[in-house]
Amino acid sequence: MNKNSMDDTSLTDWERIDALTDDDIDTTDIPPLGEDFFANAEWRMPQEDVAVTVKMEPILLSWFQALGNDYEQRMVAALRMYAEAHTGSVNRTISVA
């Protein structure tokens, strides 16, 4: 998202959306959650963040900052996706071989 996209007027009828009840929303394309989903579900509690200092290329930082004020959260998400792709999951403790 860039600054110009924030200047555009939304074409969404927010008053109509706010007036919708749960019964008004069509959820027929969402499959029900079966027992297998709940058997494999994990309870995840947020962990307290740790402040760190990381050196990186200026162009990389600029790229994330251009995505918006939440660039630090996006960087954390990118790191988490990388770790999960290489370990299968990211738990409270990660063993690095």
- Write out pLDDT tens, residues 21-79: 999 999 999 988 889 989 988 887 778 889 999 999 999 999 999 999 999 999 999 99
Q: Identify whether the C-beta of residue 83 lies closer than 8 Å to the C-beta of residue 92.
A: no
- Give the pLDDT of residue 88: 72
Two structure tokens written together for 31: 């499959």
**Whole-structure pTM value:** 0.48
- Burial-class residue 74 by CB neighbours within 10 Å (0-12, 13-18, 19+): middle
In the chain, where the domains are located: 10-87
- Give the pLDDT of residue 3: 59
